Homo-oligomer: A and B are copies of this chain.
Amino acid sequence: MGGFKMDEQYLKSIQQQLHQAGFKLTPQREATVCSLIENEEGHLSAEEVYMRVKEKSPDIGLATVYRTLEILSELKILDKVSFTDGLIRYDLRREGSQHHFHHHLLCTQCGKIQEVHEDLLLDVERVVEQQFHFQVTDHKLTFQGICMDCQRKNREQQQKQ
C-alpha cells in the first residue's frame, strides 16, 4: 500500500485463504496483512504490528490485531517465533503450510535475523525418522552466531589495534 512496492499477488492469496476459511475480509484485517507483507522478514511483535497498522487505520484496536494474528497463525499463514526477548513475534510463512518452515540465522552481536528459505534439514529429518521413529511434519531451526557484517567489523576492529 504506501509508497513502495506491495506484493498484491501475495495479499490476494492470503485474503483468499481467509475467505475460504469463512472469515470476512474487513478493512482491519486487510490493513494488518498489508503491514505484515510490507514488513516481511521484520519479525514484528503484536505491538509493533499494531503501531504500523495504526498509522494507516488509526481507529484499530490492539485486541483486533491480536485476534487477527491468531487467525492467521491458525491458518498457517503466519508462524509464531521468539528470539532473544521473550516476545512472541510473527513471521509470514511464504513457503506455505505444505512445506517446512524456513530457518533463521540470529546474530548475537547486532541482533539481525536472516532467513534461509532453502530446506537444509532433509537429510537430518531422514535420520530422525529412521533412528528415532519420529514422523516429522515440521521443524523450527535457528542458528545463533556472528553475521557476515559483524565478522567484517570485528576483523577491522582487530586490525586497528
Which A residues are closer than 8 A to B by beta carbons? 82, 86, 88, 105, 107-108, 114, 116, 120-121, 123-125, 127-128, 132-148, 151
Shortest distance from the beta carbon of A108 to any chain B beta carbon, whole Å: 7
11 contacts between A and B (CB under 8 A): A107-B134, A114-B134, A116-B132, A120-B124, A120-B128, A128-B143, A134-B143, A135-B151, A136-B143, A138-B144, A141-B141
Query: How many angstroms between the C-alpha atoms of A128 and B141 in the bound complex?
Result: 12
- Chain B residues near A120 (CB-CB < 8 A): 124, 127-128
- Chain B residues near A121 (CB-CB < 8 A): 124
B139, A143: Cβ atoms closer than 8 Å: yes
